[in-house]
Amino acid sequence: MTEPTTRAQLRAARARSERVLTPALRRWAYGVAAATLGVAVFAGWIPATATPVIVPLLMALFYVDKTGEPRP
């Protein structure tokens, strides 16, 4: 797929992604990612000192309310 070059193409691409990345899917993904991170730290795959960096990243990506706005 080529990069969008006009505003209309950008809006169309954003609309397609919003149908897939719904707030419900993002909330579910946050829960799965947070649980996976806990398991990864427990199993020793990720050092515990990395969690202060990873958790805010996960929250920025997935932690939304029902309308898709970031939770405070």
SS3 8: helix
What pLDDT does 39 receive?
93
Per-residue pLDDT of the chain in tens (72 residues, 90 and over written 9): 577 678 777 777 766 666 667 777 888 888 888 899 999 999 999 999 998 998 888 877 777 777 767 776
Residues 6+ apart with CB under 8 A from 54: 37, 46
Is the CA virtual torsion 20, 21, 24, 29 positive or negative? positive
- Residue 66 is predicted with a pLDDT of 72
What sign has the CA pseudo-torsion 36, 38, 41, 47?
Answer: positive
State both tokens at 7.
């505003």
pTM of this structure: 0.59
